[in-house]
A = this chain, B = another copy of it.
Amino acid sequence: MVLYIIGLGLGDEKDISIKGRELIEESDVVYLESYTSVLFVSKEILENFYKKKIHEVDRNFAEENCEQILNEACNKKVSFLVVGDPLCATTHHDIILRAKKKNIDIQIIHNASIMSAIGESGMQLYNFGQTVSIPYFEANYKPTSFYDKIKVNLDNNFHTLCLLDIKIKERTIENIMKNRNIYEPSKFMTINEAIEQLFYCEDIHKKNVITKDTLGIAIVRIGSNNQQIISGNLLTLKSVHFNDPLHSLIICAPLLHDIEKEYFDMYLSTS
């Protein structure tokens, strides 16, 4: 019948739009996507507030059992809740294509996302280049393509939004091979870890992209009541003790506009 894809915004149960909440109320089944981002409140709080049973969906389920959700949406009203804006991550483009092929009606309810909320840093969204993801380095796998993308942005005097890796309900390769549903503890990359990886890339590639003078802005738990926005050079930020994740990092363009400069100074780390 219909699939509602509803953005929850960034913080808690009250960041949903009134329209989004009304659609949840009308829905027969409600799923919550919990593998690309998380809210700062538990599923139970959402259930109490929205007065609906919510089924959490992990990466395996969405990839392997996406058909089940779509088949339900053929004759029911199904809500699929996504933290932030539902289409900021690339993950949910696939389910929409598949729904359209089955002629399921889709309604998308947009919401705040990290990609626009970073305007609060004072850096102008017009001056951002390509957004990059920084993945957790592993012993034998240290992809550094984000380093070159940051270089392109800096060369064009663009800011870069760095989205930091999160690992939710993932399995080790061994457990995947042995088909065991044993999950690793969730982990969320901190700004400190991200900066360490950035300096590692500089050590390897030596293109003078990340230096001790490179300026950054730490974005911590934006949209929550203990959010932090702290600016400084990357070396300083590397040793700041931030509030718990989620963390994101802006790498600033070399030349800041006047208002950007004022904001940068206002948020300057005092540590």
Contact = CB atoms under 8 A, between A and B. Distances in A.
A90 B222 CA distance: 19
B22 A18 contact: no
A249 to B, nearest CB: 16
Contact of A116 (B17, B18, B113, B263): B113
Contacts of A119: 85-88, 93
A236 interface: no
A194 B223 CA distance: 35
A125 interface: yes
Given A110-B112, A125-B131, A130-B128, A120 B87 contact: yes
Interface in A118-159: 119-120, 122, 124-133, 152, 156, 158
Contact of A112 (B111, B259, B262): B111
A16 interface: yes
Interface residues of A, number: 54
A94 to B, nearest CB: 7
Given A259-B97, A263-B93, A112 B7 contact: yes
Contact of A263 (B21, B97, B133): B97
A166 to B, nearest CB: 16
Contacts of A158: 129-130
Residue of A18, A97, A108, A158 with most chain B CB atoms under a 10 A cut-off:
A18
Interface in A82-115: 84-88, 90, 93-94, 97, 100, 108, 110-113, 115
Interface of A: 7, 9-19, 21-22, 84-88, 90, 93-94, 97, 100, 108, 110-113, 115-117, 119-120, 122, 124-133, 152, 156, 158, 222-223, 259, 262-263, 266
10 contacts: A9-B17, A14-B17, A14-B19, A15-B17, A15-B19, A15-B110, A17-B111, A88-B116, A111-B111, A115-B115
Closest 8 CB pairs of A and B: A87-B119, A110-B112, A14-B19, A113-B116, A14-B18, A85-B116, A110-B117, A115-B116
